[in-house]
Amino acid sequence: MPTGDSSGSPATDYAVALLASLVDAGVREVVVSPGSRSQAVALAAAEFERAGRVRLRVRIDERSAGFLALGLAVETGVPAVVVTTSGTAVANLHPAVLEAHHSGVPMVLVTADRPVELRGIGSNQTTVQPGLFGPAVPVVHDLEAPLTGVVDVVGVRRLALDAVAAALGRPGDDGERRSPGPVQLNLALREPLSAAVGQLPEARPEPQHRASPSSVLRLAVDEVPGTVVVAGHAAGDRAEELARQLGAPLVAEVSSGAHFGPNLALGWRTLLGEPELGGAVRRVVVLGHPTLSRQVPALLRGSGLEVVVVHGDAVEPYDPSRTATVVDAVEVAAGGDAGDRAHRAWVGRWVHAGRAVVGDGDAAPDLVAATSEEAAQRREFLRGEVDLLRRPVTRRSLAEALWRVTWPHDRLVLGASRLIREVDEVVPGKRVPVHANRGLAGIDGTVATATGIALASQLDASRPGVTRVLLGDLTLLHDVGSLLFGEGEVRPRLQVVVGNDGGGTIFDGLEVSATAPADALRRVQFTPQGVLLEHLARAYGWTYVRAATRAELDQALARPADGPVLVEVPLAR
């Protein structure tokens, strides 16, 4: 039904109607980057924030804005709206859009554009925006510029509800499965590009719901134990539950959401290569997106193996062999005893062997010496403990220290660097929320994503949680613009811990390091850098802490966090 209320700018009237409908569909977060063509939407968003109906986040860089929206959606499960002006501003969303697409994270892109009469004639800041993201955004609406102040409110509402539903993964009109992900509303706007926003429409909430699984496979507990459950990124705690129900060891990456429980097998990279363990596997059930090893895809490509892949939210099922049974969900059929002696022994062999592989980062303290009646023995024990605290931080001790201080009310975000693999290999099971951008496993936008997670997880001011980010120096520098919090922007409790080894040491462990000339490898792969992170932190208004020893690191991680803190940890190459 059209409305006759007019602000004097059709762009503003349409922007108000569109935002009102998106809010009615459940959207609560709007991320805006400044621009002329998008001003009507941005200013309308400010009015909705003033009315307490959205939370507005402003970022000057669209790439940071996109990843911020990604982090907000990861934490809340609800798509955030990202608003950009036209031209290259839209293209700068592409890295975040690709990550959201491959990870199945909902997002609504409102991209301002020129009207049809200004397209294809060389107009300033004008390019082909509909379809710019290719298959990463399968749902695109190229919206004609409104000509008058009369807005078809019913049509706009239907558009907004459908856009949010599509972002959440509702099946299309053809009934086919659709993964959650980005949706683009390309909004052409004519001058006058904005006017004063009048009274906002009344709220008419109509929340959307995710689609239910369409294909469910019933799995039986195997008579002779031989099943392993693999939990890749974002598998969720269902993987841990399934491992217990099947009497199977659990191979769980640290960002799987299932890195805990009695069936968790540590040191699994080694175990998968051992004939009596990995060689005895006859069935693998995969949940989530495994990305942190070569051993898992090698296992799944093995002959004579039954592979079941639970698709989940990711756009592509993880199927290296291309022979897996792919389903939306699995259930365990009645019958069979996952707790019998044979299954307990099967799980126990994996669990105990894994503990032996990982071992202890440091020798256990000599409690006999600590409590000895001999003063000399006690002094020697104390000297050893002090010496341990004075040691330089290693990658393993950094991973263990960060894991030790993180609890369920906290959030841990891991950047794509050598350090995420260190954490994945050595930390014990603990049920804490861990995230990493593993859809495409790029280093893009880690700080921005973590900021979104922090902002969303700390909406309740009474919650004590801290969001900690562990990344390498290059991953930080790749997203340095996301350190900027503009005037009036919320500054969350955020610790960004940078393992600084002066470059990309992850390449030291690849085959290329054995064949490439050392000077060429150093320049084009290691890419050495000498940025003064202390100056960088202070330029952006962050608190800076340097932690070169284990004692300094423990102190830095334990300090009360009332805003963003950059913790630099020097590491040897």
pLDDT in tens, 159-174: 999 999 999 998 766 5
CB 223, CB 336: distance < 8 Å:
yes
Distances (CA, A) of 550 to 55, 398, 554, 568: 39, 8, 6, 13
Domains and CATH numbers, the chain: 2-188 (3.40.50.970), 216-358 (3.40.50.1220), 392-570 (3.40.50.970)
Phi, psi dihedrals of residue 108, rounded to the nearest 5°: -120, 120
Kindly state the helix (H) or strand (E) to which residue 8 belongs, with its residue range: none
Three-class SS of residue 258?
coil
| Pairwise CA distance, residues 284 & 276, whole Å | 16
CA angle 422, 428, 431 (to 5 degrees): 110
* Predicted pLDDT of residue 173: 60
CA distance between the termini of the chain: 65
| Pairwise CA distance, residues 296 & 291, whole Å | 9
| Pairwise CA distance, residues 378 & 366, whole Å | 10
Say how many CA atoms lie within 13 Å of 182 toward its Cβ. 32
Listed residue (123, 122, 130, 69) closest to 100, CA to CA: 69
Distances (CA, A) of 423 to 24, 288, 414, 420, 561: 41, 18, 9, 5, 23
Three-class SS of residue 329?
strand
* Predicted pLDDT of residue 141: 97
Distance of CA 298 to the CA centre of its chain: 25
* Predicted pLDDT of residue 365: 54
What is the full DSSP assignment across 130-194? TTTTGGG--EEEEEPPP-SS-EEHHHHHHHHHHHHHHHTT---TT-------EEEEEEE--SS--
User: Which residues make Cβ contacts (< 8 Å) with residue 509, sequence separation at least 6?
Assistant: 418
* Predicted pLDDT of residue 176: 65
Strands 151-152 and 216-219: unpaired
Positions in the chain whose pLDDT score sits under 50: 1, 4
| Pairwise CA distance, residues 74 & 72, whole Å | 6
Q: Starting at the edge strand that comes first in sequence, how are the strands of the sheet with 543-546 ordered?
A: 434-435, 411-414, 467-472, 494-500, 564-570, 543-546
Length of the chain measured in residues: 573
pLDDT in tens, 233-247: 999 999 999 999 999
pLDDT in tens, 512-540: 778 888 888 788 877 788 899 999 999 99
* Predicted pLDDT of residue 381: 55
Q: What is the dihedral of CA 436, 441, 442, 444, to 10 degrees?
A: -20
- Please give the DSSP secondary-structure letter assigned to residue 394: P
pTM across the whole model: 0.92
- Phi-psi map region of 104: left, alpha, beta (phi>0 left; psi -120 to 50 alpha): left
Question: Tokens 């490898």 correspond to what residue?
Answer: 521
Three-class SS of residue 507?
helix
Three-class SS of residue 483?
helix
Three-class SS of residue 312?
coil
